Structure 1
Amino acid sequence: MNVLLWPLISVPLGTGAALCLAGRSANRPAPLLAVAAALATLGLAVTAAVARPEASAPLFTGMRAGLAVDGLSAVMVITVAAVTLGVVLFSTGEFGQGENRGRFFGLMLLFAGAMFVTVTATTLPLLLMAWEAMGATSWALIGYWWQQPERVRAADVAFLTTRTADLGLYLAAGAALAGGIGSLRLDALPHAAPPWLNVVTAGAVAAALGKSAQLPFSFWLSRAMLGPSPVSALLHSATMVAAGAYLLLRLHPLLAAATWAGPLVAWTGALTALALGIVAIAQSDLKQLLAASTSAQIGFMVLAAGSGGVAGGLTQLVAHAATKSALFLAAGAWLTALGTKQLPALRGAARRYRMVGAAFAVGTLTLAGLPPLSLWAAKDEVLAAARAENSGLYAVGLAAAAVSAVYSVKALWYVTRPLPTDAEAGYDTEGHGTRRVPRPVSFPLWALTGLAAVLGVLALPGPASWVRHLVGTPAEPSPTAWELGLSAGVALAAATWAWRYSSRPAPVPGAVARWAKGWLGLERGARLLVAGPVPALARALAVFDDRVVDGAVRQSARAGLAAARFARRLDDGGIDAAVGAVASGARGLGRWARRPQTGLVHQYYAQAAVGFCALILIVLLVR
């Protein structure tokens, strides 16, 4: 059964690559091919979740590229496949022949394929490759309408922000090798030697928090909302933003091994859930509200990962995936029909388009955490783990749950108001609306909404115990009856308050409301602290390189040339002159030595006599 893993990955990747290459020439068959590929992938995902296949192949010396479907990834492959199918079905009614449907559906399938590799990878090199492919395709999808510069800039911000955090995985890989983990298997990372264990953990945590839009990286998700609504439904509900939370759940043993990491991750998740929930309340744009709520809801998953609630975090992930993808699809349907996503302009939208409105109502009530819907039970699983870890975490998480009810009911309040008499005046702010909801919207929207409502069964005692055994954490704490009652009471009270006071201005100073509406100034802070200083530092380093490093090299070259010229003069005027003088002297001595060589014997006798006389004279003088 190990062969199942390859088609699970190759079907979406292969079909996506073919559609991307075909482009507009595949406009007519692209929707059908994409739906067929997504449906086949869902079947393969279910089969793989049952069979639990494993596969590996040689990658580098001493390393293998490993894939496996275990308890945690079994739930994830089904979730990703189901949401992908629903979004692809919805997209068939969103994009007409005028769009490059081949490229769009191809990119969606490529992204899904990269996500499947991400959730099944057992080794860090393969995870890194899939992580990079996921980031690149998300950039292309967010900037799908590349003819509009604002959307391209938004894609750039999202990509560069997550890409900066992604560098943590490279740091983790290098530290793991230095720490003696030559195989780079994910389950071996907790055994890295200190101090490299802390570096591995820090890199993985940074990459996960950046991908999941947690503080301080949350602002990129706001910019990503300029992408098409189906992209938001896929990337920003169950896949890309959930990938970071999934990685933290997968690496919980690593967080436990580095004792500081669990509390840091848990508090980051709790504070994100609270702070971004407040940001969601301040929004007047429906997609921005849903985006901020996504960061907040994923904060609960991150809180679970840091607190050791792997099963609770997984339940929250699955329930949120169905809920948020349905809400994004509903927002996209209204955007297509009415040409706006501004909440004041969407008054009465639920009454005008009742099918979408009913689904949106179920989705928002689920998002609010009202009993007995899925996110109520899922949040209590997370909060139980948080309470076992730290009472402060539980208190912040409970406050974040109350805030969830407020922003969810706020969105519902607007769309269920009576339709204004001048409703048309607020439409078409984003583009010309069609004034109708496409037929293919109904089935995926209601399928995801139904899942959002009923997935809470996973938190019931029997199914919850099964999930804990599935992910290998049977001792994970469960919520008590008073915890369930308290969270239900808090959610109901907050929802009631939000319904009564949604028509009134927020009871906070205007500056605070603007600060919250601007996503806490996170992007401005990033530009001030990172985007501005980094180019300035690069320019300063370039100047240092030109004037100091290159200057030193150039001065060294000049000194070398000067030394060469001096050596040449020394060679020409000294050594060569001395050699020439020796040669000239030798030639002179040779000429003098040739003169006695006459060939006459009597001259030789005379020369010998003179020599003997000179020798006798020297001997006499010396003595």
Structure 2
Amino acid sequence: MSAVLWLLIALPLGGGAVLALTGPRRGGLVPAAGVAAAVATLGAAVAAALTRPKASAPLFAGMEAGLAVDGLSAVMVVTVAAVTTAVLAFAVGEFAAHENRGRFFGLMLLFAGAMLVTVTATTLPLLLMAWEVMGATSWALIGYWWRQPERAEAADVAFLTTRAADLGLYLAAGAAMAGGIGSLRLDALPDADAPWLHVITAGVVVAALGKSAALPFSFWLSRAMQGPSPVSALLHSATMVAAGAYLLLRLVSLLDATAWAGPLVAWTGAATALVLGLVAVAQTDLKQLLAASTSAQIGFMVLAAGSGGVAAGTTQLVSHAATKSALFLAAGAWLTALGTKQLPALRGAARVHPLVGVAFAVGALTLAGLPPLSLWAAKDEVLAAARTESTALYAVGLAAAAVAAVYSVKAVWYVTRPLPADAELGYDTEERGTRRVAGSTPAPLLALTFAAAVLGVLALPGPASWLKGLVGAQGEPSPEPWELGLSAAVALAAVGLAWRWASRPASAGLSRAAVRWTHGWLYLERAARLVVVRPVLGLARTLADFDDRVVDGAVRQTARGGLAAARLARRLDDGGIDAGVRAVATGARSLGRWARRPQTGLLHQYYAQAAAGFAVLVLIILLVR
């Protein structure tokens, strides 16, 4: 059965690589090939979910690259593959023929493949590899129109923010090795020795919160809206932002192994759900509203993980994936047709394109948490888990659910208004609209909308018990009838108030500063630049200056000293040693010349020289005596 698992990974990764390499060539065949690869991947995902295969391969000494489909990952692989298929089917009609559709469809499949490896990985090294590929492909997809500087900058901000948080996984891997977990298996991480256990947990939490755009990392999701609408529909529904929440749900046992991690994660999730919900209320750009609501909805998943609600978080994740991908596709369809995503300019858009409007309205009301739609039941599952941990957590979560109703109804109010007489004047703020909906839009949009409406069945007593058994969370609490009634009443009341006050200016009842702060995503990016980026760049400049002046300066001074010593040695060599050698040679030559003078070859001169020598010798003897 491991062949099914390898096929599940190989289909999107191999197909994506091939399509990405085709470039702009064969542009007409690329969309069909991309959708075919996604459909095949969905088939493999269903087969893997039914058979639960496992596979492994040697990686390093004492360490394997392991893959497995268990209960939790079975839900995830089907969700990821289904959303990918729907989004790619929608994207068939979204790009002009002259654009590099091979690169787009290839990167989308590569990204989906990396996400499938992420949710099936059983060892930390393989998870890290997939995590990195997911980050790199998301950067390329957000900056797909890279010739536009603002889009390229947005991709850089999103990538660098998540990349900084990703360092937590490397920290966790190093701490796991130091803590005695040589295999780096995910299920063995809670068994690490102290204090390394706390370091592992901290690294995992930081990486997960960064990838899921939870506080304080939420601002990168605002920048990511510069990407094409299909990218937003995939990355910010079932894949990238869900990856961090999935990791926390997968490693609930790691959070439970420390006293501080669970409460920290739960409160971070609750704060994200409430605060980013308020940010969504203040937005006038539809995609920015949906982005902020994504962070808020991911906050519920993080809250569930911190509260130990694995089944609750899974229900929220799956329901949100279908709902948010449908909403992003509807927003993308309007952007293509009308050339704008500004809510004031989208007045009456649901009347201009009724099918898209119906799908958007159903998705938005699902996002609002209205009964009996899926996110109503899913949120109650999360809130039931939170209530077992803290009444205060439950109260904050309930308040966040009310805010969700407000920002959802705000969007519905705009798009369902009567069409103004001068509607055309508000169009084409981002691009030139086509004034029509592509033929590839209805099928995936309606399929996702239907799923968004009915997936709440997972919270019904029978299916909920099945899901809890599937993910190994049989002891999780279920919402009491009064909790279901209370959340429904809160959502309906919030919807009524929001509809009543939707026509008022965004600043009504709020201070101008509050509106500015929420509309600007709490200026978290500015704070990150001030608190993190500037000090890091300042430190880098200081270290570079230290390197230039001290380290490089010492090297240069050492080199200069070496050159000076070499010049001195050369002078000593030329003026001393070589001069002495030359003097000895000159003296030897002179002695040789003097020694050759007596050698005349005349016998009588030799006799005379011998007689003179004997005379000198006798004289010396006489003098010495």
- Quote the residue 1:118 is aligned against: 118
Alpha-carbon distance between aligned partners in 2 of 1:418 and 1:459, rounded to the nearest angstrom: 37
Alpha-carbon distance between aligned partners in 2 of 1:515 and 1:62, rounded to the nearest angstrom: 51
Alpha-carbon distance between aligned partners in 1 of 2:514 and 2:549, rounded to the nearest angstrom: 47
* Aligned amino acid, residue 435 of structure 2: R
- Quote the residue 1:225 is aligned against: 225
Query: RMSD of the TM alignment (CA)?
Result: 2.8
Contact 1:19 1:26 in 2 (8 A): no
Post-superposition offset of 1:195: 1.2
- Quote the residue 2:449 is aligned against: 449
- Quote the residue 1:373 is aligned against: 373
- Quote the residue 2:424 is aligned against: 424
Q: Are positions 1:183 and 2:156 aligned together?
A: no
Q: Are positions 1:170 and 2:180 aligned together?
A: no
Post-superposition offset of 1:548: 2.0
- Quote the residue 1:552 is aligned against: 554
- Quote the residue 2:529 is aligned against: 527
- Select between 340-349 and 502-511 the one with higher mean Cα deviation: 502-511
Matched length: 600
Post-superposition offset of 1:255: 0.9
How has the CA–CA distance of structure 1 residues 566 and 232 changed in structure 2, closer, same or farther, with 3 Å as cutoff?
same
Q: Deviations over 1:535-555 (max 9, x none)?
A: 221111111112122333444
Pairs within 5 Å for 1:429-508:
429-505=429-505, 506-508=508-510
Pairs within 5 Å for 1:289-368:
289-368=289-368
Post-superposition offset of 1:571: 11
- Quote the residue 1:590 is aligned against: none
2:512 counterpart (510, 513, 524): 510
- Quote the residue 1:137 is aligned against: 137
* Aligned amino acid, residue 552 of structure 1: A
* Partner SS, residue 226 of structure 1: coil
* Partner SS, residue 64 of structure 1: strand
- Quote the residue 1:46 is aligned against: 46
Q: Deviations over 1:269-301 (max 9, x none)?
A: 110100000000000000000000000000000
Alpha-carbon distance between aligned partners in 1 of 2:189 and 2:577, rounded to the nearest angstrom: 67
Post-superposition offset of 1:98: 2.0
* Aligned amino acid, residue 545 of structure 2: V
Post-superposition offset of 1:328: 0.3
Q: Are positions 1:67 and 2:67 aligned together?
A: yes
* Aligned amino acid, residue 276 of structure 2: L
1:536 counterpart (538, 551, 557): 538
Alpha-carbon distance between aligned partners in 2 of 1:550 and 1:144, rounded to the nearest angstrom: 41
Alpha-carbon distance between aligned partners in 2 of 1:253 and 1:567, rounded to the nearest angstrom: 71
Alpha-carbon distance between aligned partners in 2 of 1:539 and 1:104, rounded to the nearest angstrom: 37
Q: Deviations over 1:126-162 (max 9, x none)?
A: 1111111111111111111112111111111111111
Post-superposition offset of 1:531: 2.0
Gaps of 5+ in 1: 578-609, 611-623
* Partner SS, residue 431 of structure 1: coil
Post-superposition offset of 1:392: 1.3
- Quote the residue 2:27 is aligned against: 27
Alpha-carbon distance between aligned partners in 1 of 2:258 and 2:557, rounded to the nearest angstrom: 50
Q: Deviations over 1:10-32 (max 9, x none)?
A: 11111111111111112111111
* Aligned amino acid, residue 378 of structure 1: A
Contact 1:26 1:101 in 2 (8 A): no
- Quote the residue 2:199 is aligned against: 199
- Quote the residue 1:239 is aligned against: 239
Alpha-carbon distance between aligned partners in 2 of 1:353 and 1:552, rounded to the nearest angstrom: 71
* Partner SS, residue 24 of structure 1: coil
Contact 2:369 2:376 in 1 (8 A): yes
Alpha-carbon distance between aligned partners in 2 of 1:216 and 1:333, rounded to the nearest angstrom: 31
* Partner SS, residue 23 of structure 2: helix
* Partner SS, residue 371 of structure 2: coil
Pairs within 5 Å for 1:75-90:
75-90=75-90
Q: Deviations over 1:400-453 (max 9, x none)?
A: 000000000000000000000110000011111111111211110010000000
Alpha-carbon distance between aligned partners in 1 of 2:300 and 2:291, rounded to the nearest angstrom: 15
- Quote the residue 1:615 is aligned against: none
Q: Are positions 1:96 and 2:96 aligned together?
A: yes
* Partner SS, residue 289 of structure 1: helix
- Quote the residue 1:605 is aligned against: none
Alpha-carbon distance between aligned partners in 1 of 2:560 and 2:255, rounded to the nearest angstrom: 56
* Partner SS, residue 55 of structure 1: strand
* Partner SS, residue 275 of structure 2: helix
Post-superposition offset of 1:566: 8.6
* Aligned amino acid, residue 504 of structure 1: R
* Aligned amino acid, residue 128 of structure 1: L
Post-superposition offset of 1:258: 2.1
* Partner SS, residue 447 of structure 1: helix
Alpha-carbon distance between aligned partners in 2 of 1:570 and 1:389, rounded to the nearest angstrom: 85
Alpha-carbon distance between aligned partners in 2 of 1:196 and 1:301, rounded to the nearest angstrom: 26
Post-superposition offset of 1:196: 1.1
Q: Deviations over 1:71-130 (max 9, x none)?
A: 000000000011001001101111231221111111111111111101100111111111
- Select between 359-368 and 525-534 the one with higher mean Cα deviation: 525-534
Alpha-carbon distance between aligned partners in 2 of 1:264 and 1:572, rounded to the nearest angstrom: 77
Aligned structure 1 segments of 4 or more residues deviating by more than 3 angstroms: 552-577
Contact 2:24 2:98 in 1 (8 A): no
Gaps of 5+ in 2: 580-620
How has the CA–CA distance of structure 1 residues 563 and 244 changed in structure 2, closer, same or farther, with 3 Å as cutoff?
same
* Partner SS, residue 440 of structure 1: coil
Post-superposition offset of 1:572: 11
Pairs within 5 Å for 1:269-288:
269-288=269-288
Percent of pairs with identical residues:
78
Q: Deviations over 1:281-333 (max 9, x none)?
A: 00000000000000000000001111100110000000000000000000001
- Select between 297-306 and 387-396 the one with higher mean Cα deviation: 387-396
* Aligned amino acid, residue 13 of structure 1: L
Post-superposition offset of 1:215: 0.7
Q: Deviations over 1:496-519 (max 9, x none)?
A: 100000001231011210110000
* Aligned amino acid, residue 149 of structure 1: P
* Aligned amino acid, residue 535 of structure 2: P
Q: Deviations over 1:177-224 (max 9, x none)?
A: 111111111111111111111111111111111110011110111011
Contact 1:208 1:248 in 2 (8 A): yes
- Quote the residue 2:414 is aligned against: 414
Q: Are positions 1:7 and 2:7 aligned together?
A: yes
* Aligned amino acid, residue 540 of structure 1: T
- Quote the residue 2:614 is aligned against: none
- Select between 565-574 and 110-119 the one with higher mean Cα deviation: 565-574
- Select between 288-297 and 199-208 the one with higher mean Cα deviation: 199-208
How has the CA–CA distance of structure 1 residues 569 and 191 changed in structure 2, closer, same or farther, with 3 Å as cutoff?
farther
How has the CA–CA distance of structure 1 residues 192 and 563 changed in structure 2, closer, same or farther, with 3 Å as cutoff?
farther
Post-superposition offset of 1:563: 7.5
Q: Deviations over 1:233-273 (max 9, x none)?
A: 00011101100100111111111112211111111111010
Post-superposition offset of 1:3: 1.1
- TM-score normalised per structure 2: 0.91
